[in-house]
A and B are shown apart, each in its own frame.
Chain A
Amino acid sequence: MSLKIMFLDELKGFYRSRVMLALWVGMPLLALLIHTFQPKLQGGMTLTLFATFVVSSISGTLASIMLSVGIIHEKSRGVYSLFLVRPVKKNSILFGKFLAVFSCIVVAGIITILISLLYDHLKGNPINQALLREAGKSLLTGFSTMAISSAAGVLIGTLAPSVLVGVILVLYGGNQLSVLGLLPTMLKLPYPWVFSLGFGVVVTTVLLFLAAFLFNRKQF
């Protein structure tokens, strides 16, 4: 019950602080702008394929920074004591945040792809099954890396003593950790996106439970 309340509460927070707006409008806009004004970067790709690349490359970093900075900031200000004097499990705070950020990022990714498809369609680029399949696979691999990055953000947020250290750790480690989600593709395994999803679930679960273990030991 407390996890559901914490999750919905975080979503409400993102809505009220306009984080949702920034993500859901910002991400497709960014993909569109780079695609339009940096033709060398897109290498003749349709916006849809280019957007899947943008989503998987920046959303993980965004998620891990959002989570780590948020947790460190709230931890240092003593925000959690008001939650923890209620019948709330410490895990629920972390898991609620993870789920809220991850779902926001996933929705931002889906919106970006849908807008890109629409854009390509209006531009007269053919939207065929092959393109949709490619975009879908890339997006699923992207979700896997986003989940790993988000979980890494939670872990770093739990461990880091200051926002600055947290951001440095995200850029040094958290970001690199998310590459694990791309390993099946790099290793050229059959059905890499399936392996990638499975791998993402396992690594994310391990990181989250490690963060929860450490968070449970913390005294507030």
Chain B
Amino acid sequence: MTGTRDVAVFEGVSKSYNSFLALDNISFSIKEGEIFGFIGPNGAGKTTTMKILVGLLSDFSGDLTVGGLKLPESRVELNRWLGYMPQMVAFQEWRTVDHALTTFGRLSGLNKATLASRIPRVLELVGLEKVRGKKIIHLSGGMTQKLGLAQALLHQPKLVVLDEPLSGLDPGSRMQVKSVLKDLRTGGASVFFSSHILSDVQDIADRIGIISGGEMLKLGTLDELKSHFSVKDDQEIILSHNAGNWKELETAPGVRGIELAGENRLLLHLFPEADSDATINEVIKRLIEKGNTIRSFTPLAPSLDELYLKYVGGREAR
């Protein structure tokens, strides 16, 4: 369950690569037990933010505290309870799946007994239990990706940072990984992940941050992001009986237009300044009077894709 305690707090963090400003004064926090989805166009600063969070990039300005400790100064202590999966997961060619996990587990401070129970557990979680003895170079791209997730979860970190964990996975594997992330949340861990597959982000993220041009454009729950747009303007009406005379509704006060979007599906557009409750009541009344039967009447909420385009669409790629 999402807690109120912050596990990581960015305050005015900026990062430049020579003269290129990759992150511009971003401030946000990741809460205990939440899944935080991080979205934005290529080159927006997602990977840079994640690398700073896990201590791979140390020359940044601003303040970053993780678990109450300051980064980059406390990197070594913090990494005991951080899990990270980079965008391009790479292992040394000679390693087998088992050997890679053993080494990373030992480096994370796990003893032999713990490793003996954790390795089969994480392999089962990501569906790689049958390739435990295989060399990593013989795994498919998706399997290597999942091994990247397995190594990030091995030491049961409190904060898991995943850079595009769902890219390159087949639909079944995506479902599996999403389920793993939800289980992590249930277990009290926080997950900070980026993705370009917005439907996946919409599915599992408790809060979503939209970054572009190194700036955090918007941050909030999906409902909070949606609330920035007027969703009362458009309504979807599903009829169980379409009497066919719905066009006359256009004369109702507050109605901007009405269109047939399927056999029994109508899209009703209201004037933004209209009293939506009064207009909807009037429309329902008239539809019934004209012999239509209504199955449902729903405000059309924008999807995350539409929100993303709304927030990011107008911004130039850098």
Contacts and interface: CB of A to CB of B under 8 A. Distances in A.
Interface of A: 2, 5-6, 9, 12-13, 16-17, 74, 77-79, 81-89, 219-220
B283 interface: no
Nearest to A83: B107
A82 B108 CA distance: 11
Contact of A78 (B57, B77, B90): B90
Interface string B82-105: 111010111111110001000110
A78 B107 contact: no
A88 B107 contact: yes
B223 interface: no
Contacts, number: 70
B199 interface: no
A85 B54 contact: yes
Contacts of A77: 90
Listed from nearest, the 6 A-B pairs whose CB atoms lie closest are A17-B94, A85-B84, A77-B90, A86-B107, A16-B94, A87-B76
Nearest to B107: A86
Contacts of A6: 107
- Interface residues of chain A: helix, strand, loop or mixed (majority): helix
Interface of B: 51, 54-59, 76-77, 79-80, 82-84, 86, 88-95, 99, 103-104, 106-109, 148, 151
Contact of A87 (B80, B89, B92, B151): B80
A12 B99 contact: yes
A86 B104 contact: yes
Contact of A84 (B56, B88, B93): B56
Given A219-B56, A219-B57, A86 B94 contact: no
A46 to B, nearest CB: 38
A83 B106 CA distance: 11
Nearest to A217: B59
Nearest to A78: B90
Contacts of A89: 76
Residue from the set A77, A82, A219 with the largest chain B CB neighbour count within 10 Å? A82
A13 B94 contact: yes
Contacts of A83: 104, 107
A78 B86 contact: yes
Given A17-B94, A87-B80, A78 B88 contact: yes
Contacts of B103: 5, 9
A87 B104 CA distance: 10
Contacts of A87: 76-77, 79-80, 107-109
